[in-house]
A and B are shown apart, each in its own frame.
Chain A
Amino acid sequence: MDTGTATPKRDAAPMDPATLSRHLCDVAERRDKAAFAELFRHFSPRLKSYLLRLGGSASGAEELVQETMVAVWRKADRYDPSKASASTWIFTIARNLRIDAYRRQKHPEIEADDPALAPEPDEAPDVAVGRGQDAARLTEALSRLSDADRSLLRMSFYDDLSHSTIADRLGLPLGTVKSRIRLAFGKLRTALAQPEDDI
């Protein structure tokens, strides 16, 4: 196994969503260790930063980064590029592992092949929302949100605060926080739903 040393070191130059998604599919289909090493170089420093923000120690965060990347290797065949970008899928794995590690709880989820799962209607709206090619569009839409809206989302995703805790912290009525989240999320979904040449 020489993939760990043979690939030259480079900085965490951002890779585009399509490349990341292709690497992940190569891991799933061909158990490709070089593709895995590329994913590791891109994601491990980002995951560590995310986990540190959520209150882990440096060594704890590093341990969880490794666990997350082991899970990426083992579960790669469940990645569906039509549903999520590689970043989004790997985010959900890290999220679930940190809930398990920091809170000793599970993050209950649907089972994709559960016969009780209500099937998608033929004309599903918003189907394309998570696709790799939309990741850039979402980043762009996030950057266009007001600072206040963006900070609400950061409090959810980076500070582990539920909307009711956010309301307490900001001293705002629950209804106000709920409607601000609804408006911010609505703007992002509108941006995602727009045809390509409208951005």
Chain B
Amino acid sequence: MLPTQHLSDALLIDYAAGTVSEGWSLAIATHLALCPACRNRVLAAEAIGGAMIEAIEPEPVSEDALAATLARIEADGESEPRRPAVPPADTLFPEPLRSYLANAGGIVWRRLSPSAQTFIIPTGDRSTTARLLKIAAGAAMPVHSHRGLELTLVLQGAFHDEGGTFARGDIEEANEEVEHQPIAMPGEDCICLAVTDAKLRFRGLPRLLQPFLGI
């Protein structure tokens, strides 16, 4: 089953041009791994970057730039060996997400509510928070609203909310107007990658507790 809920053109262009920070790009690229249609759209968006490089007014480089570059190539030795293709234990988490989880030393779930758990994924981006969310089959996420954008990518199971139904590979782009309550579909726990640019505000959890939960 291929995804049916895709990235907006605006976010695809942001990713291709490199204007969005690492947290957003992690969610975007992980959707791309699961979505051949958006991969092709990104190729088209990157081709705009290529055409712009062609059309740009050239700026002369220093006389010895080529010689200096060739010297660096000589000094660096031969081409980068490709990463050996080690088959992953399971394919639940595609690249680039898998490497982020491996660099974090694996997933340690923390309880958000009796039916929801979370794990914050370390990234080099302090302007966003990337986290995994696990919602028990059939259960509701705590109601929350956000100040900026939230990207939610389903990796396992499915959820539905005001924006529709989202299954593996589907991505939801929710902005600050949305106060939504995702509900996991029955059958299987729902695991998502969620990226936000502001701390999520959960209703019903004591505000004082929120900093301790890191949410």
Residues of A bordering B, CB below 8 Å: 1, 3-5, 12, 14, 33, 36-37, 40-41, 43-50, 52-53, 61-62, 65-66, 69-70, 73-78, 83-85, 87-92, 94-96, 98-99, 103-111, 113-121, 124-127, 129-130, 134-135, 138-139, 142, 153-154, 156-158, 160-165, 174, 177-178, 181-182, 185-186, 188-189, 192
Which are the 4 A-B pairs with shortest beta-carbon distances?
A88-B50, A45-B58, A116-B91, A116-B94
Main secondary structure of the interface of A (DSSP, over half): helix
For the complex formed, measure the closest distance between the CB of A149 and the CB atoms of chain B, giving whole angstroms. 11
Of B19, B26, B53, B175, the residue contacting A161 (CB under 8 A) is: B19
How far is A136 from B39 in the complex, measured between Cα atoms in Å?
21
Least CB separation from B70: chain A residue: A4
User: 11 A–B contact pairs at CB < 8 A?
Assistant: A47-B53, A48-B58, A75-B79, A85-B50, A99-B18, A105-B22, A108-B25, A116-B91, A118-B169, A129-B47, A157-B17
Least CB separation from B40: chain A residue: A126
Q: Does B66 have its Cβ within 8 Å of any Cβ on chain A?
A: yes
Residues of B within 8 A of A104 (CB): 124
Query: Are A66 and B14 in contact (CB-based, < 8 A)?
Result: no
Q: Does B125 have its Cβ within 8 Å of any Cβ on chain A?
A: yes
Q: A84-B47, A116-B91, A138-B47 are in contact. Are A182 and B9 (CB under 8 A)?
A: yes
How far is A77 from B2 in the complex, measured between Cα atoms in Å?
30
Least CB separation from A140: chain B residue: B51
Q: A74-B78, A156-B17, A186-B9 are in contact. List 11 more A-B contacts (CB 8 A).
A: A45-B59, A48-B58, A50-B56, A84-B50, A88-B46, A108-B22, A108-B26, A119-B36, A129-B44, A134-B47, A135-B54
Q: Mark B80-115, 1 if CB is under 8 A from A, else 0.
A: 101101011001111110101000000000000000
Q: A157-B52, A185-B45 are in contact. Are A111 and B76 (CB under 8 A)?
A: no
Query: Are A118 and B33 in contact (CB-based, < 8 A)?
Result: yes
Least CB separation from A96: chain B residue: B18
Residues of B within 8 A of A164 (CB): 148-149
Query: Are B50 and A114 in contact (CB-based, < 8 A)?
Result: no
Query: Are A66 and B95 in contact (CB-based, < 8 A)?
Result: no
Query: Are A1 and B70 in contact (CB-based, < 8 A)?
Result: yes
Query: Are A41 and B50 in contact (CB-based, < 8 A)?
Result: no
Of A52, A96, A108, A111, the residue contacting B59 (CB under 8 A) is: A52
Of A41, A85, A111, A135, the residue contacting B66 (CB under 8 A) is: A41
Least CB separation from A86: chain B residue: B50
For the complex formed, measure the closest distance between the CB of B74 and the CB atoms of chain A, giving whole angstroms. 7
Residues of A within 8 A of B92 (CB): 116
